[in-house]
Amino acid sequence: MYQDYIITAIFLLVIALIIAGITVRRYNIPYLYFVGGTVIAAFFWTDPGLVGNVFVRQLYPWFVPLFFMVGPGLYGSFCTIKERRNKWHVIHYIPIITGYIILIVHLAFFNDSFYQTVQLAHDLKWEATSIFWPFSDEWILLAYPFHLLLYIIVSVGKLNSNKARLPLYILPVFQGVFLIPLFDIIYHFLMGTPILFADADVLRYIMFGNVLLIFWDVVNIRPRMQKEKEAEIKAYEAEKEADRMATFIKEAPKEIYPNAEKVNNAEIVLYIERLIQSGEEFPFNKHSKKSDFIKYSPFKNPDWVSFFSATSTNFGYFKKYTRIHRALRLIEDGYLEDQSVESLAITVGYSSRAPFYLAFEQIMGESLTAYREV
């Protein structure tokens, strides 16, 4: 019976959504939107007596805006990571956002009308429902295939501009072909009469081909795209990490090193931060001379020359600054609760308390005693 096909189709789509979640992962979240929206649509447009009617009664109208996630999800799955991260990419999801805003406003301020409309929908009286005012629910649901068609067109355009391989065209092109029976199913569901296909069971047999198409794409095409995207993912993450470091340095330069925001090489500033915060033995204990320290560090002499020039400091100040700030970290961690100042001074590279006290006051602008009393 065709009902067995319906159950099988929904089962395959749910499995496809699970597989997609495992295989495409974070590189292609829009593809999960596409598959997820398709699963929801499959529940809605199946035989009302088998699944659709129960789905409407339980979840209407909160799932309706999710239909308009299918098209942007398909298009977004062909965009680069950088394009999807662009703040303007959210434009594609405005219909979904608007739909939920309308629902919340309708429920909050027109409560009686909201529940009257929901009841009409439960009775499948679509000609009288208008929960997405000023549009009728009929208009919204019939607009869904045309919205998807728009994104199929722009998806093919995106593939053309990227000179994509032929297999990538199969999903959007055949999605476009299957919009014809999909529109007939929606029309039949709303109006009670078909347009092109007289037998509703035939329609559902045809749409089973679309299910197999999506399942094939999930299993065969997207995992390959994942591998092809790995270099793009790494490059994008490296760029974001560089931006994060630059922002970190710019927003908190004094906590790292004076004038650190003027340094072009962000890595050298973060290296200083690691020197200060690390629990390992302080390198100045063994490498107090400039030449020895530079040889020990992961940066070459020109990098340090550029660093000292940008920050208007020298190696002597740098050594003193990092020693004192390492001491501050140890103090914050409770070092002086069971250890002496003498021990702290030696730990950060001083021979005794006297030069440590002097350096502390020069760097912090107050004595260690005054600092601890605050």
Listing DSSP states for 221-239 in one string gives: IHHHHHHHHHHHHHHHHHH
Residue 290 has pLDDT above 90, yes or no: no
Residues 194 and 313 in one domain: no
Kindly state whether residues 172 and 229 are assigned to the same domain: yes
Q: What is the mean pLDDT of residues 150-154?
A: 95
Banded model confidence at residue 152, pLDDT cuts 50, 70, 90? very high
* Number of folded domains that form the chain: 2
220 exposed, middle or buried (CB, 10 Å; 0-12, 13-18, 19+)? exposed
Domain that holds residue 351: 253-373
Tell me, yes or no, whether 155 and 228 share the same domain: yes
Q: Please tell me which residue, 347 or 55, carries the higher pLDDT value.
A: 347
Do residues 43 and 174 both lie within one domain?
yes
Is there a domain that residue 245 lies in? no
> Do 216 and 258 have their domain in common?
no
Read off the CATH number of the domain in which 366 is found.
1.10.10
153 plus 40 within the same structural domain? yes
Full-model pTM:
0.62
Asked whether the predicted pLDDT for residue 200 surpasses 80, the reply is: no
Q: How confident is the model at residue 124 (pLDDT cuts 50, 70, 90)?
A: confident
* Helices assigned H by DSSP within the chain: 2-23, 29-45, 53-59, 70-76, 81-85, 94-109, 111-122, 137-161, 167-191, 200-216, 222-251, 253-256, 266-277, 290-296, 301-311, 315-332, 341-347, 353-364, 368-373
**Portion of the chain with pLDDT greater than 90, in percent:** 12
pLDDT digits (tens, 9 = 90+) for 170-182: 999 999 999 998 8
Residue 146 pLDDT level (bands cut at 50, 70, 90)? very high
